[in-house]
Chain A
Amino acid sequence: AQSVSQHNHHVILSEAASLELGCNYSYGGTVNLFWYVQYPGQHLQLLLKYFSGDPLVKGIKGFEAEFIKSKFSFNLRKPSVQWSDTAEYFCAVNGGSGGGADGLTFGKGTHLIIQP
């Protein structure tokens, strides 16, 4: 079965710092990769997604992620964070477990706090 690991459970940064959140998944084959964000009091929203093509994908609010197939990784980056980026971030993978319709397998999440 597919599994997703996010390396950092809690991250605290100052405004304008650069951000990189790690995400690795366990199973190869064809996968779809996602980063979701959950702002305080709000529901899960899609930040960005990778299905195929250019492994460097850009999402909303200046976020980007790079898919490295050889490393089974899909790390999230942002060059300069803002206080409003404080949220819970989830990496998710769909597919790669033998075909058929799959639900999303989520990582445990990273709680990001940006200090003004």
Chain B
Amino acid sequence: KAGVTQTPRYLIKTRGQQVTLSCSPISGHRSVSWYQQTPGQGLQFLFEYFSETQRNKGNFPGRFSGRQFSNSRSEMNVSTLELGDSALYLCASSLGTSGEQFFGPGTRLTVL
């Protein structure tokens, strides 16, 4: 069974731009969660989608948004990028909303 895939793997943007990251969950998984990983803050929960609905959201500003499509694929968008948004963005999928999560390789975003 194919794992969680994320595209692109690497991205370089400048301040003020916006970016869209994509995640394809494991086949059959309906829950997709997004996390931000930085050296200073560690792994922080962004939001979770289940059946195209955002079920929970972490403590991030409104510049961070996401959506989920009917095939469970998910995208996250960051608008008006700031230097501090440079991070590894991880996507994880699971069958349900509180179960084991399987992580993708991440998208490394660098904001210049």
Interface residues, chain A, with chain B CB atoms under 8 Å away: 32, 34, 36, 43-46, 49, 90, 92, 94-95, 100-109
In the bound complex, do residue B42 and residue A44 qualify as a contact, i.e. CB atoms below 8 Å apart? no
Interface residue? B35 (CB, 8 A): yes
Report the separation of the CA atoms of residues A102 and B56 in the bound assembly, to the nearest whole angstrom: 6
Chain B residues within an 8 Å CB radius of A32: 98-99
Indicate which residue in B44, B55, B90, B100 contacts A101 across the interface (CB closer than 8 Å).
B55
Instruction: Say yes or no: B101 contacts A104, CB within 8 Å.
Output: yes
Q: 7 closest pairs, A vs B, by CB? A: A103-B45, A101-B55, A101-B97, A106-B43, A44-B103, A43-B105, A108-B42
Q: Which residues of A contact B46 (CB under 8 A)?
A: 103
CA distance A92 to B32 in the complex (A): 17
CA of A106 to CA of B90, assembled, Å: 13
Residues of chain B at the chain A interface (Cβ within 8 Å): 31, 33, 35, 42-48, 50, 55-56, 58, 90, 92, 97-106
Docked CA distance A95–B100 (Å): 12
Which residues of chain B come closer than 8 Å to A90, judged between CB atoms? 43
Contact present for A103 and B103 (CB under 8 Å): no
The distance from the CB of B4 to the nearest CB of chain A, in whole angstroms, is 8
B104 touches which of A43, A49, A92, A103 (Cβ 8 Å): A43
**What's the Cα separation between A113 and B33 when bound, in Å?**
30
The distance in angstroms between the C-alpha atoms of A38 and B100, with both chains bound, is: 16
Q: How far is the CA of A49 from the CA of B102 in the complex (A)?
A: 12
Q: Are the CB atoms of A104 and B45 closer together than 8 Å?
A: yes
Instruction: List residues of chain B with CB within 8 A of the CB of A92.
Output: 43
B47 A103 Cβ-Cβ under 8 A: yes
B106 near A103 (CB under 8 angstroms)? Answer: no
The answer on a CB contact under 8 Å between B100 and A44 is no
Instruction: Give CA–CA (A62, B101) in the complex, Å.
Output: 21
Kindly provide the distance from the CB of A97 to the nearest chain B CB, expressed in whole angstroms: 9
Besides the known contacts A46-B100, A92-B43, 12 further A-B residue pairs in the complex with CB atoms under 8 A apart: A34-B100, A46-B102, A90-B43, A100-B56, A101-B55, A101-B56, A102-B56, A102-B98, A103-B33, A103-B48, A104-B92, A106-B44
